């Protein structure tokens, strides 16, 4: 059996310098490799035409190029696309492409499954199956039809990004470096449930925006929705956020899924305004689309609007996120769980 080769795609410039050094190639080869990997649309080492045949053969002996095309694509009537990538045997990850006027936002996964067990999340029902490498994260942007016109990236797909922080930071480095995709970090948002130590490191080592899944300001209620509250209470998360400057271009936002009769009351508005007092932030309200086995439902539109208006009246800029791709299982985890289950039945 042929040994599994290392992948070039997903390596940083420093790692590519190491690759070049290990193969006895000049240091500038690393820059050429980065150029082929991240700036040109090729799919094999053999296509790196400014490298000599001998160098390409040397590389091919030890490495594969490393990009993977999606295994399945679903297209919503509203233009949203859901891509399914296979990362290993029976392991699926999802990527959503959301077009909106002149913007194309890609929602990437950072793990296969998730460990966090949030009550309202479909991905949680898969359990945790593995980490994605930086290459597998960036590949979700690179290998979709819209790759050339992606304007924004959100780490809000499957998994908890701060539970795979090394690879997430590496993927952001590839996306934002001049030798990589050269994107502005201000076009990247990483969403987390708030793993405090990792959040501190993320804020220190990257310039991307931060989004925190809040969902309720009350301790006991959050515990029943999100087990992470036991280890990292939201008050501690907010306390850590207060140490950072968000008055410039860098943004922090709070994601808030509304659940009927649970977290959509005036008491919640009041407590949210107390909790977030003094932080320059925004709240994104999200309509809940029920997942199997979950007793939660979304409130009606009137309640959602009233909740939004109350928060805005309190001085917290609040918007309601448009629901997209409902006809294609756009809620994270639905499609891959469906695919995983159908494969298990074979």
Partner 1 sequence: MQLTNLNKYELKPVLITGNEEISPNVFVFSWKREGIFSPGQVIKITADPNEPPRIYSICSGINDENLSVLFNVKPGGELTPKLAMMKPGDKIYVSAPYGSFSSDDSPATWIATGTGIAPFYSMIRSGRYKNKKLIHGVSYANQFYFEEFLEKVLDENYIRCCSRAETGVHFHGRITDYLIGLNKLSREDKYYLCGQALMVVEVRDLLIRKGVPYGQIYAEIYF
DSSP state at residue 40 = S
Distance CA 314, CA 218 (A): 18
Residues 7-26 that bind partner 1 (CB under 8 A): none
Angle, alpha carbons 96-97-99 (nearest 5°):
145
Indicate the residue among 58 and 296 with the shorter CB distance to partner 1: 296
DSSP state at residue 84 = E
Q: Which member of 6, 94, 281, 302 is catalytic? A: 94
Q: Which member of 114, 118, 281, 332 is catalytic? A: 332
Q: Is 115 in the site for partner 1 (CB under 8 A)?
A: yes
State the minimum distance, in angstroms, from the CB of residue 263 to partner 1: 12
Among 41, 224, 309, 341, binds partner 1 (CB under 8 A): 224
Indicate the residue among 151 and 221 with the shorter CB distance to partner 1: 221
Q: Which stretch binds partner 1 (CB under 8 A): 95-103, 174-182, 193-201, 208-216?
A: 193-201
Contact 301, 271 (CB under 8 A): no
Q: Is 293 in the site for partner 1 (CB under 8 A)?
A: yes
Active site residue 332: yes
Indicate the residue among 222 and 308 with the shorter CB distance to partner 1: 222
Residues 156-175 that bind partner 1 (CB under 8 A): 163
Among 31, 99, 130, 233, binds partner 1 (CB under 8 A): 233
Contact 320, 291 (CB under 8 A): no
State the minimum distance, in angstroms, from the CB of residue 117 to partner 1: 5
- Edge-to-edge strands of the sheet including 91-100? 72-75, 81-88, 91-100, 103-107, 152-155, 188-192, 209-213, 252-258, 282-287, 317-321
Distance CA 171, CA 263 (A): 34
Q: Is 128 in the site for partner 1 (CB under 8 A)?
A: yes
Tokens read off for 297 = 């439902």
Q: Which stretch binds partner 1 (CB under 8 A): 112-120, 210-218, 301-309, 336-344?
A: 112-120
DSSP state at residue 51 = S
Q: Which of 250, 243, 252 is nearest to 210 (CA)?
A: 252
SS3 content of the chain, % helix, strand, coil (to 5): 40, 20, 40
Among 60, 151, 177, 221, binds partner 1 (CB under 8 A): 221
Active site residue 94: yes
Q: Is 125 in the site for partner 1 (CB under 8 A)?
A: yes
Q: Which residues pair with 113 in a beta bridge?
A: 128
Residues that bind partner 1 (CB under 8 A): 114-117, 119, 124-128, 163, 195, 197, 200, 219, 221, 223-224, 227-228, 230-231, 233, 293-296
Active site amino acids: 94, 332
């Amino acid at each position: 059996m042929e040994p599994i080769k290392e992948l070039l795609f997903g390596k940083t410039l420093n790692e590519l310098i190491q690759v070049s050094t290990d193969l006895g190639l000049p240091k500038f080869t690393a820059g050429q490799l980065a150029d082929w990997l991240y700036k040109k649309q090729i799919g094999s080492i053999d296509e790196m035409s400014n490298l000599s045949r001998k160098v390409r053969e040397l590389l091919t002996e030890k490495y594969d190029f490393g990009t993977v095309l999606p295994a399945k694509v679903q297209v919503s009537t509203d233009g949203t696309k859901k891509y399914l990538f296979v990362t290993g045997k029976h392991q699926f990850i999802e990527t959503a492409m959301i077009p909106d006027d002149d913007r194309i936002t890609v929602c990437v996964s950072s793990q296969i499954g998730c460990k966090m067990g949030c009550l309202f999340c479909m991905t949680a029902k898969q359990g945790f199956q593995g980490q994605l490498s930086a290459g597998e994260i960036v590949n979700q942007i690179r290998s979709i039809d819209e790759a050339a016109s992606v304007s924004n990236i959100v780490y809000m797909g499957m998994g908890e990004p701060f539970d795979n922080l090394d690879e997430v930071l590496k993927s952001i480095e590839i996306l934002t470096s001049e030798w990589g995709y050269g994107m502005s970090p201000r076009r990247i948002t990483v969403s987390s449930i708030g793993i405090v130590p990792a959040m501190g490191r993320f804020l220190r080592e990257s310039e991307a925006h931060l989004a925190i899944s809040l969902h309720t300001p009350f301790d006991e209620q959050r515990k029943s929705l999100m087990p992470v509250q036991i280890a990292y209470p939201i008050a501690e998360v907010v306390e850590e956020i207060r140490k950072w400057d968000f008055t410039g271009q860098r943004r922090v936002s709070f994601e808030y899924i509304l659940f009927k009769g649970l977290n959509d009351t005036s008491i919640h508005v009041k407590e949210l305004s107390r909790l977030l007092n003094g932080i320059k932030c925004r709240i994104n309200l999200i309509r809940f689309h029920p997942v199997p086995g979950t007793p939660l439902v979304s409130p009606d539109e009137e309640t959602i609007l009233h909740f939004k208006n109350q928060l805005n009246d309190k001085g917290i800029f609040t918007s309601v996120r448009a629901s997209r791709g409902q006809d294609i299982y756009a809620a994270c985890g639905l499609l891959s769980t469906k695919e995983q289950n159908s494969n298990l039945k074979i």
